[in-house]
Each structure stands twice: as structure tokens, then as C-alpha cells.
Structure 1
Amino acid sequence: MKVDSLHQLGLDDREIGIYRALLRLGPASIRDVAAAAGVNRGTTYETLKQLATKGVVNYFPRGKRRVFQAEDPDQLLRLAERKQQALAQAMEQLRTEVIPELKQSRAVFSPGNVRFYEGDDGVEMVLRDILSSTRTDPERGYAVISTKTLREHLYRPFPNFTRQRESLGIRVRVIAVGEGGDEAEYAERKWLPSADTADASYIAIYPPKVAMITLADENYPVVVIIDSAAIASTQQILFDTLWQLL
């Protein structure tokens, strides 16, 4: 039996084994459950108490002993539903209370505001960060300055990035250094003339972040993300000024 879904409910292998043993036995004493599961009595008792807390095992007195029985397996689905509801509430609290409060207590700027990545994984992280950040922004847009020499490497680790951006209705304005660049929905593009030998560079401005990608030796991507509202705002002003002049 696949138990991955049970692990997601917070049940470990011992709990799963004892629950299944109890299902086979029906109402049973701790000694009988321990023997059927191959676990010592002390551990079996503690595990049964944990399962009772989770609502998948119950117990009742029989004489001077305590007898345990497994709840119907449908109870596992109800456990999953409770966890789902609790997770949804936690996410809402994180979004509306906890994260805003933590951001207010964060230092204005620290070394942690600058992150370095390497390789295609770093490029993919930037592209996914752009999507996750701009999809919740009321403006739903970002700005890019990109050279021709980098474009062929940009979407290699995330080939369906543009399709996902379009499906989310996220707008992008691109200043392309050098010729080329594909047309796409929700995208505006202007060009700066440049020699084909211009250094590879990609700058994405999605306040409060700025991401920069370049290529090291042998076309190896190097990525820097700066999380600073002040820097992002200044870069946005420069971009907007240049955009109006083109």
C-alpha cells in the first residue's frame, strides 16, 4: 500500500503500522496490538495515544483494562480536511498579518537583501520569482533591459515562462539591446542599437526587487537579486526615462 498520502497527514511509519494492526484485530488490548505490530508495549501505548489525539483511534474501558479500536478509515479523509482547513487559515494569516509584521521588523538593508545564484537553476529561480511577485502586484507588470547575446540562454531552464506569464495576464516592457526578440501577448518592446558583441546582460525590475543575470566563462549564468525598494525605485525611474526617449 502506498503510504505517501498518510505521511502527508502527519502519520509516521510506526503509527501507520499500529493503526493497520488495530484495524485487523478489532478492539484489542495494548499487549495484543504490540504483538501484532511487532512493537514493544511502551512504544505501542504512546503511539496509540498519539493516534487517539489525531482522531483515528479510540479506546474504552473493559474491566480494569483499556481497550483500543481503530476508527473507520474514512476518518483519515476527515483528518486531511481538518489539516487542509488549518493550512488555509495559516496561509491567510501569513498573508494578512504575519508576513507584513515580519517585513516591518526587518532591517532596512542587510547582506541578506542580496542573493547570489549560479547556473540554470539560478535563472529559473529569477523567472519564477518574477511571476510569483508580479501576479500579486496590482500593477501586474515589470520591466526588463536585455541584450541580444543573453536572450538565447534566458529561457533554457524555463521554456514555458512566456506562456505562464501570458496566462497570468502579467505585462512586461522590454528595452532590447540589439536586434531580435519575439512578439508576445502583454509585452511591449523598444530597441537600443548595439553591436553583436555587446556583453550579455539581463536586468529585471520588479519592485521591490531587481534581478541581474550575466554570463561567465563558457556561457555559465550568474545571477544577483537585490531586494531593496530604494534601488528598485531608482532603476524604475531610469528605465521609464529611457523608455520615453526611445
Structure 2
Amino acid sequence: MLQEYLSSLGFSQKESTIYLVLAEVGVQPASVIARRSNLDRVTAYKHLKKLADRGLVKVYSRGGVQCFGIESFDALESYIGERAQNLTDLRKRFPIIANVLKSLREGEDTIPRLQIFEGTSGIKALFRDMLHAVKQENVKQVRLLSSNTFEEWLSDDAMQRIVGGFFKDLKAQSVSVELFEVTGGLVPERLRKLSGKDISAPMTLVTHGSTNIFLIGHTVYLACYKGTQIGLKMTQAELSQIFHFLFDLAGRIKD
């Protein structure tokens, strides 16, 4: 219990051991503390100095020999108070730090970040990833284009549950779905916008379409279900802006 408590305060395992030895034996030279802690003298001395620098251990001189001990456990309480105050200050500064970190990421955003999902388990992971992206970017609308220019994909029960769960989660989070469908024979011939009010509408598009494009914030997802099931995630601000522009154009097309 004591080791775990000290560890939660930032003590290393060796520091915790040394501190508990000092609590038991009182003021002692480094050689005695090292022996009781099962450490070599150099290692014990190094950690004793660190504890002393943090005000947790006091350095004494007895007969010309340097010794270490715990003067009062009040020092540990003061140390806890200082750490709590530091954490409070760090929390207040976090919004500024977060903005700086985001600006660093923007410098790398010129190169799209790609991730591939393969097989049924991969497609399942892709839908989980899309839900995470919705929450992370606080997206209020998912844009979906489904193509069934090839033969319809007949999903199994497991995939139906995956897709159904995805759209139910979107509905529970009050996230709307903008739906577009491309139809035709061997090549795309018609594009139309559908109503997404009914939760079955997007689910039907996904499970019947052979290829889907999902646009979620700054991320584009492609999912192909015919033959080998495979998905692709592409994250880049400029790329997503192009897709948003294309979706905007599609929304102006009349049947």
C-alpha cells in the first residue's frame, strides 16, 4: 500500500524503497541505507540526494559522516500540496499548450495520413474509427456517397449489426447524415440526393452499395465491400476540403 501511494506521488521504485527504509531506521549514513534497501552505495546516494533536493529527506552530519533522515512527515504533506498546485497551474495553461500542439500538427498536414482496413474485422474497425472521428472533431453531420453501379453486395448478419450500430450511434449523438447515391450499370450514370431522416435509409445505402465514401470533418473514408472487403482512411485538411466542395456541388444537382 505504501509503495503504491508513494509511486502515485511520482516516487520511483528505488526512491519509495529508500524512503520507507528511512521511515523505519531513522537517520543513517548512505552505506546503511543502501544495505537495507538492497542497493549499491552509489545508487542509494544518488536517490537520497534527489529526495533531499525535493525537501523530502534531510541531510545531517554526524561525526564528520554525512547521514540522511526524515525530519518530519509534514514535508511529504507539503510536497503533495505543491504537486497539487502545479497540476492546477498546468491545467489552466493546457488550452494554450493544446493550441501550440495543434499548430505543430498543421505543419505536417501537407502530407495525407493514410490507414488501410482489410477484411470483415478491418471494416468493423473502420466504422469504430469513424465514430471516434465524429466525437473527436465534434462533427454534427456525416456526408455519405454510396455507389451501387455493380451488383448489390449482400451483407451477412454480422455486418448488418456493425452498420446498424454505427448509424444508431450517430442518431443517439444527434449527428445527421447527408446522403447521395450513384447508380448505373458498369459505370456511374445517375447521382441523386436522398433524405436521411429515416435511419434505415443510410443503412440501406451502405449495405446495398458496393462502394461508399464517408466524409467526416477533415477525414475521408472509402469502403469497398465487393469481393475482398477493404477500407481506406485519408486525413488531410486540403483533401477533405476538395471532397466537401464536391459534395456541395452534388447537393445542387436536381434529379
Query: TM class, shorter-chain normalised?
Result: 0.5 to 0.7
1:58 maps onto 2:68 in alignment: no
Distance in structure 1 (CA, Å) of the matches to 2:198 and 2:6: 47
Q: Map 1:160-239 onto structure 2 (within 5 A).
A: 162-163=168-169, 166-167=172-173, 171-175=175-179, 183=198, 198-199=209-210, 201-215=211-225, 222-239=230-247
> Residue in 1 aligned with 2:159?
153
Q: Is the 8 A contact 2:116 2:232 kept in 1?
A: yes
What 5-or-longer segments of structure 2 have no aligned partner? 148-152, 184-193
**Is residue 2:91 matched to residue 1:88?**
yes
1:210 Cα offset (Å): 1.1
How many aligned positions are there? 229
TM-score relative to the length of structure 2: 0.65
Return the alpha-carbon distance in structure 1 between the equivalents of residues 243 and 50 of structure 2.
55
- Structure 1 residue 47, shift from structure 2 partner: 1.4
Query: How far apart are 1:5 and its partner, in Å?
Result: 6.4
Report the 3-state secondary structure (helix = DSSP H, G, I; strand = E; otherwise coil) of the residue aligned with 1:39: coil
Residue 192 of structure 1, CA deviation: 11
Q: Does 1:116 align with 2:122?
A: no
Q: Match of 1:11?
A: 11
Unmatched tracts of structure 1, length 5 or more? none
Aligned alpha-carbon RMSD (Å): 4.4
- Following superposition, the deviation at residue 2 of structure 1 comes to 8.0
**Greater Rg by CA:** 2
Structure-2 change in CA distance of 1:160 and 1:39 (3 Å): farther
Report % sequence identity.
14
- SS of 2:27's partner is coil
Q: Distance in 2 between matches of 1:192 and 1:233?
A: 25
1:2-55 CA-to-partner distances (Å, cap 9, x unmatched) read 856654544332222222222223333322322221112111111122333455
Q: Distance in 1 between matches of 2:20 and 2:164?
A: 43
Instruction: Report the more deviating stretch, 16-25 or 154-163.
Output: 154-163
Tell me the TM-score normalized by structure 1. Answer: 0.67
Letter in 1 for 2:58: Y
Q: Name which of 98, 103, 106 aligns with 2:101.
A: 98
1:150-205 alpha-carbon deviations (Å, 9 max, x no partner): 796387499588558745x5x332317599x8957xxxx96799797531x44321
Given that residues 146 and 203 in structure 1 are in contact (C-alpha distance below 8 angstroms), is that contact kept between their aligned partners in structure 2?
yes
Kindly provide the amino acid, as one letter, of the partner of residue 143 in structure 2.
Answer: A
Contact 2:126 2:231 in 1 (8 A): yes
2:138 paired with 1:128: no
The one-letter code matched in structure 2 to 1:67 is F
Which residues in structure 2 correspond to 1:5-44 (within 5 Å)? 6-7=6-7, 9-44=9-44
Structure number with the bigger relative contact order (C-alpha 8 A, sep ≥ 6) is 2
